[in-house]
Amino acid sequence: MPRYQPSRIEPKWQDWWAARGTFASARLPTGRKAYILDMFPYPSGDGLHVGHPEGYTATDIVTRFERMRGTSVMHPMGFDAFGLPAEEYAIRTGTPPRESTERNIATFTRQLRMLGFSYDWDRVLATTDPGYVRWTQWIFLVLFDTWFDPVQGKGRPIAELPIPPEVAGEGEPAVARYRDAHRLAYQSEAPVNWCPALGTVLANEEVIGGVSERGGHPVVRLPLRQWMLRITAYADRLERELEGLDWPASIKKLQCDWIGRSTGAEVDFLILTAGAPAETIRNAFEQWKRDRAETGFPKKPGDDVLRVYTTRPDTLYGVTCMVVAPEHPLVDILTSPAQRNEITAYRDLAARKSDLDRTDLARGKTGVFTGSHVVHPLTGRPIPVWVADYVLATYGTGAIMSVPAHDDRDHEFARTFGLEVVTVVEPADGSAVPAGELFAGDGRAVASGPYTGLTTREFIVQVAADLAAAGLGRPAVNYKLRDWLFSRQRFWGEPFPILHEIDADGNPTGMIRAVDASELPVNLPELTDFRPGDTPDPPLSRSGPEWLYVERDGRRYRRETNTMPQWAGSCWYYLRFLDPKNEDRFLDPGIEQAWMPVDLYIGGAEHAVLHLLYSRFWHKVLFDRGHVSHPEPFGKLVNQGMILGEMEFTGYRSGKGGWVSAEQRGAEDVSAKVPADQVEKQGEHFVLRDAPKIRVESRAYKMSKSRGNVVNPDQVVRDFGADSLRLYEMFMGPLEATKPWSTAGVSGVRGFLDRCWRLVVDERADDLCLAPQVCDDPPTDEHLREINRTIDKVTRDIQSLSFNTAIARMMEFVNFCTPLERRPRAILEPFVTILAPFAPHLAEELWELLGRTAPVSLAAWPSVEEKWLKDDTVEIPVQIQGKLRGRVVMPADADAEAMKAAAAADPRIAEQLAGKEIVKVVAVPGRLVNFVVKG
């Protein structure tokens, strides 16, 4: 009764590999190396879902393949274990996060082992390990110790920061403050996204449409002291150095857009004293221009001017109003006494508005006139200044020149408040845009003084130069990317290795110092109460004094009580895998040089921007500081597609209980799942079998607990085996595609593995033994053609990650072998070898049965004998007028003339060509013949 029993052989081989350390990676590679990495999982309480094994199986196949080809492989796994869910679970149940995290990691580890992935488990790490946290904190200290030198375009030690003499003259505290203001890790009192429900501040990236990404809770803006990382300093390099990476173009573009580089100009507008006579204004303006011509454009604008950033300086003559953000520092100065109440009310409202109100729903423009004017630097005309929240304080200068004729936001604003629309650009093709209408494209300047007639491009270059010469403006570059808000008011994260000096009364002096690297890690204190408060005061501040207060060099300090975000640990885990037990440094330089960069990185597209951008940023800082040898961490990146739930048919019932056709359903009709056997296809749509007038929707949905369509890998392994799960996920379709789950499909590949088993094993025997068909006969030419073609196809398909077609080819091979009365080992053995990366447990078992003692996992990948890939004769399709009319067998190497002759000689073709004039014959050697005829 030796049937294929995955439940018997899979644990057997997992134990075998583990006991012998079959998949341990060497400290250093010998010869060719391949660092093949999965995005490590967050160990949630739900365990693995079927999405995880998709990418993990893909990398495992490549790893096993490379290993069998003699490549030194690095293939580690770990856990991204800090983060909110563990903490929320802790709050709910009173379990310390470390306990639940460890339990979850144990579950994940069991499940990953159950799937037979060939990780080097000696390298496993969790971001929460004290030995890992230590080096995460150490990297933070590197960031803290680094400033970005714009001249060299790289990060340098803070000790090398030039101190301006006037700062040095003010004494040591001023120098310290100056340094602190230039570090890549710095504190800021910026408005942040405070989420009362989660009790934490969130990064801009964690706020989606005004609500928290996790949980969908409202978010309000609040000024708070925060740790920031100066990622904007690296914006330029993060964008430019994407170019050389072997990443999907779409991911590169996403990162590019996120960084959002734009070029334009900054322009200063002189602020007018309210109510001054025209003459005074003119004089002040002329005086200001004379001053500027002399002093040039100041680095920072004074209180007397409003500075704007624009990408379209060519529309300067169309400016009809200025708009500043409600948070703009000059709003107070600009507000006239008459407008003060209104402006104050508007600013309060804007401050209380969540991002949701400001962006998503309330699309309509709001704003208030300040009562002030500025002078147009080119025309000298007064321009009114407004406050409106469609202008963002955090982008550019927080103020814009409004050009209603050529910017749709300004156009909407002007229309809302009845402001003037002045056209200064016309389409280059001469087509007319009606007066007062919007034209946002490039074109030719009109009504623009000396610039009239220039193209948009010429104008921008010219006016930027003129403004710069006059000291009124300068070319400028802006990025959408903001500095990275790096602190969280949470318990379950890495503590910052930072001390705040306090005076005798316990109040902070504003001086900070880094914890010495030798004292790392700063461990989390023991807390019984993890709950966030109603205020943004972090849980760590409730820690006992023995953790909170420390003394160094005779001064008293209070520890930083914010913690790092979950991203911190995932920013550098790929480095620690290479040297996970090093107690002296975060990574040995020799090991780093030998293994980096990562050769293949597979994971979900949801990390397209954040994780990958943050990692690249940290990596570049480490590179600048000489800790790693490559500027980029991940050479080739692939995103696996999402696996959806099984296809579902949904019908709709009206309140009265009758069916409603899907396209006619109303809001009150309720949906109902319809079993697949009650549905049939009619034309474009599916309809009810019993009521063909009723259309039903057919769709696969994202797996979710609430929908109840989640597939559990444990269940699949129990029902079909790990090899079947692996193979099915690879057979479903292209790795990158989104595809629906199908349990019938799993049983299909299980059938294939059953046939593989029976190819080698005698299923009728009482004991496990070889099938009687297995023999030592020398293989025939046909056998050799089959096996060589299979090896060839599988080899090429693994390299292009086309696992679905590789599996299809192996199925064809098994279909070829199954009817054979005699199956030579000479073709079975190479087949088992190439099956091994896909279905490793089954392959090991068959390999052992075939009499091998060394594991197939370490066997040599079979080579292809080229001569078996070519056919002597081929069947060539013959077309007339591009339509298939017959097939002719001819030698594979027949030239075009021979092919034409052979095709024309075919009786069937000859008959159809009879009486027709042949205009042209196309013959492609080895492919086809096509007759073009007339009549």
> According to CB under 7 A, which residues from 465 to 504 bind RNA?
478, 480
Q: Based on CB atoms, which residue is closest to RNA, 107 or 262? A: 262
CB of 161 to RNA, least distance (A): 28
**Cβ 614 to RNA, closest distance in Å?**
15
DSSP code at position 432: -
CB closer to RNA out of 18 and 477: 477
Query: Considering only residues 163, 362, 768, 889, which one is a binding residue for RNA as defined by CB under 7 A?
Result: 362
Q: How far is the C-alpha of 677 from the C-alpha of 694, rounded, in Å?
A: 15
Give the integer Cα–Cα distance in Å for 6 and 498: 53
For RNA, the closer CB: 514 or 605: 605
The reply to whether 922 sits near RNA by the rule CB under 7 A is: yes
Give min distance, CB of 392 to RNA, in A: 4
Q: Which of residues 191-250 bind RNA (CB under 7 A)?
A: 208-209, 249-250
Encoded tokens for 787: 């096996």
Q: CA-to-CA distance for 614 and 871, rounded, in angstroms?
A: 53
Task: Tell the smallest beta-carbon distance from residue 837 to RNA (Å).
Answer: 17
Shortest Cβ distance from residue 760 to RNA (Å)? 13
**Gap between the Cα atoms of 317 and 324, Å rounded:** 19
When asked if residue 802 is in the footprint of RNA (CB under 7 A), the reply is: yes
User: Residue 262 Cβ, how far from RNA at the closest point, in Å?
Assistant: 3
Q: Coil, strand or helix: which one is 637?
A: strand
Q: Which of 95, 188, 344, 359 binds RNA (CB under 7 A)?
A: 359
Give the integer Cα–Cα distance in Å for 618 and 141: 12
> Smallest distance, Å, CB 217 to RNA?
17
Residue of the chain from 2, 131, 260, 475 that contacts RNA (CB under 7 A): 260
Q: How far is the CB of 45 from RNA (least distance, A)?
A: 23
- Chosen residue from 321, 587, 688, 807 binding RNA by CB under 7 A: 807
409 lies in the site for RNA, by CB under 7 A: yes
Report 580-619 residues binding RNA (CB under 7 A): 605, 608-609
CA–CA distance, 354 with 372 (Å, rounded to integer): 28
In the bound state with RNA, the residue whose beta carbon lies nearer, of 188 and 742, is 742
Q: Is 416 in the site for RNA (CB under 7 A)?
A: no
* Polymer length in residues for the chain: 935
Cis-peptide, bond into residue 536, ω within 30° of zero: no
276 Cβ contact partners less than 8 Å away, ≥ 6 residues apart: 284
Q: How far is the CB of 195 from RNA (least distance, A)?
A: 17
Stretch that binds RNA, among 500-508, 518-526, 667-675, 800-808 (CB under 7 A): 800-808
Complex with RNA: residue 172 or 677, whichever CB lies closer: 677
DSSP assignment of 296-364 equals -S-SS--TTEEEEEES-GGGGGG--EEEE-TT-TTHHHH--GGGHHHHHHHHHHHHHS-HHHHTTS--S
- Does position 882 bind RNA by CB under 7 A? yes
Enter the tokens of residue 868.
Answer: 């078996």
The two structure tokens encoding residue 483: 């500095």
CA 575, CA 406: separation in Å to the nearest integer? 49
Distance CA 21, CA 4 (A): 26
**CB-based burial, 526-561: b 16+ in 10 Å, e otherwise:** ebeebebeeebebbbebbeeebeebeeeeebbbbbb
Minimum distance between the CB of residue 815 and RNA, rounded to whole angstroms? 5
Judged by beta carbon, residue 33 or residue 358, the one nearer RNA is 358
Among 352, 457, 552, 702, binds RNA (CB under 7 A): 702
Where does this chain touch RNA (CB under 7 A) — which range of 118-126, 222-230, 369-377, 811-819?
811-819
Considering only 165, 277, 430, 819, the residue that binds RNA (CB under 7 A) is 819
Stretch of 171-179, 706-714, 727-735, 856-864 lying at the interface with RNA (CB under 7 A): 727-735
Q: How far is the CB of 292 from RNA (least distance, A)?
A: 21
For RNA, the closer of residues 262 and 712 by Cβ is 262
- For tokens 């397209």, the residue is 608
Please give the residues from 618 up to 647 whose contact with RNA meets the rule CB under 7 A: 647
- Can you tell me the distance from the alpha carbon of 285 to that of 839, in angstroms, rounded to the nearest whole number? 80
For RNA, which is the closer residue by CB, 259 or 343?
Answer: 259
CA 235 – CA 71 distance, rounded (Å): 36
Shortest reach from residue 352's CB to RNA, in Å: 15
Structure tokens at 759: 């190819």
Q: Mask 502-521, x = binds RNA (CB under 7 A)?
A: --------------------
- Token pair of 918, please? 């042949």
How many residues lie near RNA (CB under 7 A)?
84
Answer yes or no whether residue 377 interacts with RNA by CB under 7 A.
no
Torsion on CA atoms 64, 68, 69, 75, rounded to nearest 10: 40
CB-side neighbour CA atoms (13 Å) of 172: 1
Query: In terms of CB distance, is 398 or 539 closer to RNA?
Result: 398
Please return the burial class of 460, using the count of CB atoms within 10 Å of its CB with bins 0-12, 13-18 and 19+.
Answer: buried
Residues 87-116 that bind RNA (CB under 7 A): none
> Residue 4 CB, nearest distance to RNA (Å)?
10
Q: Give the shortest CB-345-to-RNA separation in angstroms.
A: 18
Q: How far apart are CA 26 and CA 120, in angstroms?
A: 10
| C-alpha to C-alpha distances, 304 to 28, 280, 307, 713, nearest whole angstrom | 63, 15, 10, 66
Beta strands 600-604 and 679-682: pairing type? Answer: unpaired
Tell me the C-alpha distance between 581 and 76, whole Å. Answer: 13
Q: Which is nearer to RNA, 391 or 660 (CB)?
A: 391
Determine the Cα–Cα distance for residues 703 and 648; give it in Å rounded to an integer.
12
Q: Residue for token digits 């570059």? A: 477
Q: Which of 296, 525, 733, 925 binds RNA (CB under 7 A)?
A: 733
Pick from 300, 581, 656, 681 the residue near RNA by CB under 7 A. 681
Whichever of 79 and 649 has its CB closer to RNA, that residue is: 649
Question: Which residue in 740, 824, 837, 840 binds RNA (CB under 7 A)?
Answer: 740
Contact 726, 839 (CB under 8 A): yes
> Judged by CB, which is closer to RNA: 311, or 582?
311
Is 861 within 8 Å of 65 (Cβ atoms)?
Answer: yes
Is 595 within 8 Å of 575 (Cβ atoms)? no
903 binds RNA (CB under 7 A): no
In this chain, which of 8, 110, 225, 253 binds RNA, going by CB under 7 A? 253
Q: Which of residues 280-339 bind RNA (CB under 7 A)?
A: 309-312, 325
**From the list 91, 527, 808, 904, which residue makes contact with RNA (rule: CB under 7 A)?**
808
Binding region for RNA (CB under 7 A) out of 129-137, 622-630, 880-888, 892-900: 880-888
Smaller CB separation from RNA, 300 or 656:
300
Strand pairing category for 643-653 and 659-660: antiparallel
Q: Which of 107, 131, 804, 901 is in the footprint of RNA by CB under 7 A? A: 804
| DSSP run (H or E) holding 126 | strand 125-126
Task: Give 411 or 616: the residue with its C-beta nearer to RNA.
Answer: 411
Rule CB under 7 A: which of 746-785 touch RNA? 747-749, 751-752, 754-755, 758
Q: What sections of 739-824 are H helices per DSSP? A: 743-760, 781-799, 803-817
Query: In angstroms, what CA-CA distances link 501 with 228, 342, 544, 554, 853?
Result: 19, 42, 18, 11, 66
Question: Angle at Cα 418 formed by Cα 415 and Cα 419, nearest 5°?
Answer: 90
Integer CA distances (angstroms), 222 to 151, 189, 327, 396, in order: 35, 10, 12, 21
- Binders of RNA among residues 549 to 568 (CB under 7 A) are none
Can you tell me which of 17, 23, 35, 390 binds RNA, judged by CB under 7 A?
A: 390
